[in-house]
Structure 1
Amino acid sequence: MTATLPVSTATADLPAFSTYVTERGPVLLRTARSMTPNPADAEDLLQTALTKTYLAWDRIEDPRALDGYVRRALLNTRTSEWRRRRVDEYAAGDELPEPEPEAAVDPAERQAMRDAMWRAVLRLPDRQRAMVVLRYYEDLSEVQTAEVLGVSVGTVKSAVSRALAKLRADAGLGELTEAA
């Protein structure tokens, strides 16, 4: 008994399909890139959608509907991949792994860090200090800080950025993040 390979039932017009891909490929690739963060994933997504389009080529009666068909294939394929990845990311089994215990921070070290940071904030120019205190100590938004100080939001953004750069450069602080 000999095994036979399945024969494809697609009877698409290869030259017409090739012409379509050559003409519309760049536009369709841009569409695929808008759906994925990685350009390589976008190329894979487009390849899969074009494969589906090729298999349905003879059933698409209106040539003006081709772009819509490919876009729908892109969207459906992307959604299927997203769902599959999302399901794959869930932990399997009845028990979840225990999180690693966090190292206990010495309260004296924490207080020393706060004191050093406050001393550095006090060395900032008055305007920058006011903005940093409002933004990070009082937890006001950029818009709220601008309203309190009577300046534009852009002024708050640039002054806080400069202040954080000065704080980062302060040798006694080490690394300081935006979330200060």
Structure 2
Amino acid sequence: MAEHAVVLGGEVTALDWDTEFTSLYDRCNDQMRFTAFLMCGNWHEAEDVLQAAFLKLYLAGPKLASHSYIEGYLQQIVVRTFLAERRKVRWRREKLTDSPPESLVDSPDTEDGIVVWEALSKMPARQRAVLVLRYWNDMSIDDVATALNCSTGTVKSQTSKGLRTLREKLGPGFGQSRLEV
């Protein structure tokens, strides 16, 4: 059982942190889970990344509870956890299991969305993270640089490379009208 400290000079107690953390989890879980899914390509890995990120945030403790940037910090932890996991398992592309692969029910529901999602899932992790943060989460270049702990120049170059890679994977005719006149 956690000890509950007394509020001294504006410090947050462990009980206050538990309440704030629960509120943050309720507010951010779905958005962060989907962000992790877009980067990972499957819900199971996204859940693992999200769980690790929330644990890291919780362990950072009450010193963060009163800060206005806590949601941004959580997003930064999610991205960095994803990238760290990718570095650990870079050598392994597929893992054999006894269960069938996930169905497309978990992926975007339009045909174009499915095609983009599949192309995105085959991209290098850093490019994928940049594209998800820039275009799905609508983050600025500076915010992405902060989340990825890199320079704005790196974000710009990874965005450029990522868009080029995505276009190559989608092919030249993607996005044009599919109706024949």
User: TM exceeds 0.5?
Assistant: no
Larger Rg: 1
TM range (shorter): 0.3 to 0.5
Q: Which of structures 1 and 2 has the larger relative contact order (alpha carbons within 8 angstroms, sep 6+)?
A: 2
